[in-house]
Amino acid sequence: MRIVHGLHWSGGGIVNFIDLLLSNINTPDIEHHVVILNSDMASNHQLRNKSISYSFLGFENNQISGLIRFVKIIKSIKPDIFHAHSFLPGVIGRLFSSEKTICIATIHNEYPHYTNNSCRNKFKLKLEYKSLKRSCKAVVCVSESVRQRANDAMPGLPFEVINNGIQLGMMRDASTQQKKEYLTILSLGRLDEQKGYDVLLEAFSILHKKGIKAYLRIVGEGSLRPTLEAKAKELGIDKKVFMPGFSQNPISELSNADMYVCSSRYEGLSLATAEAMAFGLPLITTNVGGVALMVHNGVEARVVPMNNPVALAYAIIEFIENPCVRFHMSVAGREFARKNFDIRNTSRSYEMLYKRLLKN
Same domain assignment for residues 102 and 205: no
Same domain assignment for residues 45 and 158: yes
Could you list the residue range(s) of the whole structural domain that residue 275 is in? 174-340
Same domain assignment for residues 180 and 203: yes
Same domain assignment for residues 20 and 118: yes
The string of pLDDT tens digits covering residues 274-300 is: 999 999 999 999 998 788 888 999 999
Q: How far is CA 172 from CA 67, 181, 184, 261, 272, in A?
A: 45, 20, 16, 18, 16
Distance CA(269)–CA(239), nearest Å, equals 32
Q: Is the pLDDT of residue 136 over 90?
A: yes
**In the chain, how many domains are there?**
2
354 burial level (CB within 10 Å; 0-12, 13-18, 19+): buried
Same domain assignment for residues 269 and 250: yes
Same domain assignment for residues 217 and 335: yes
Q: Is the pLDDT of residue 157 over 60?
A: yes
* Residue 240 and residue 215 in contact, taking contact as beta carbons nearer than 8 Å: yes
The string of pLDDT tens digits covering residues 181-192 is: 899 999 999 899
Q: Is the pLDDT of residue 61 over 90?
A: no
* Residue 4 and residue 354 in contact, taking contact as beta carbons nearer than 8 Å: no
pLDDT value at residue 138:
98
Closest CA to 17 of 107, 133, 103: 107
Pairing of strands 81-84, 53-56: unpaired
pLDDT value at residue 324:
94
The string of pLDDT tens digits covering residues 212-256 is: 999 999 999 989 999 999 999 999 999 999 999 988 778 889 999
Report the range out of 12-26, 39-53, 161-175 with the highest average pLDDT. Answer: 12-26
Q: Would you call 96 helix, strand, or coil by DSSP?
A: helix
Same domain assignment for residues 56 and 112: yes
The string of pLDDT tens digits covering residues 249-272 is: 788 899 999 999 999 998 888 888
For the chain, give the percent of residues with pLDDT over 70: 94
CB atoms within 10 A of CB 305: 11
Beta strands in the chain (DSSP E): 2-7, 31-36, 53-56, 81-84, 102-107, 136-141, 159-161, 183-188, 214-219, 241-242, 259-262, 283-286, 302-304
Instruction: Residue 31: give its domain's CATH number.
Output: 3.40.50.2000
Distance CA(121)–CA(127), nearest Å, equals 10
Closest CA to 301 of 319, 313, 317: 319
Closest CA to 7 of 124, 108, 138: 108
Q: Taken in order 264, 266, 272, 276, is the CA torsion positive or negative?
A: positive
Same domain assignment for residues 221 and 116: no
Same domain assignment for residues 55 and 69: yes
Q: Would you call 261 helix, strand, or coil by DSSP?
A: strand
Distance CA(33)–CA(42), nearest Å, equals 18
Same domain assignment for residues 214 and 328: yes
Same domain assignment for residues 136 and 178: no
For the chain, give the percent of residues with pLDDT over 90: 70
Same domain assignment for residues 47 and 147: yes
Mean pLDDT, rounded, of the chain: 91
Task: Name the phi and psi angles at 242, rounded to 5.
Answer: -120, 130
* Residue 129 and residue 163 in contact, taking contact as beta carbons nearer than 8 Å: no
Confidence of residue 38 (pLDDT cuts 50, 70, 90): confident
Q: Would you call 79 helix, strand, or coil by DSSP?
A: coil
pTM for this prediction: 0.84
Amino acid found at 2 = R
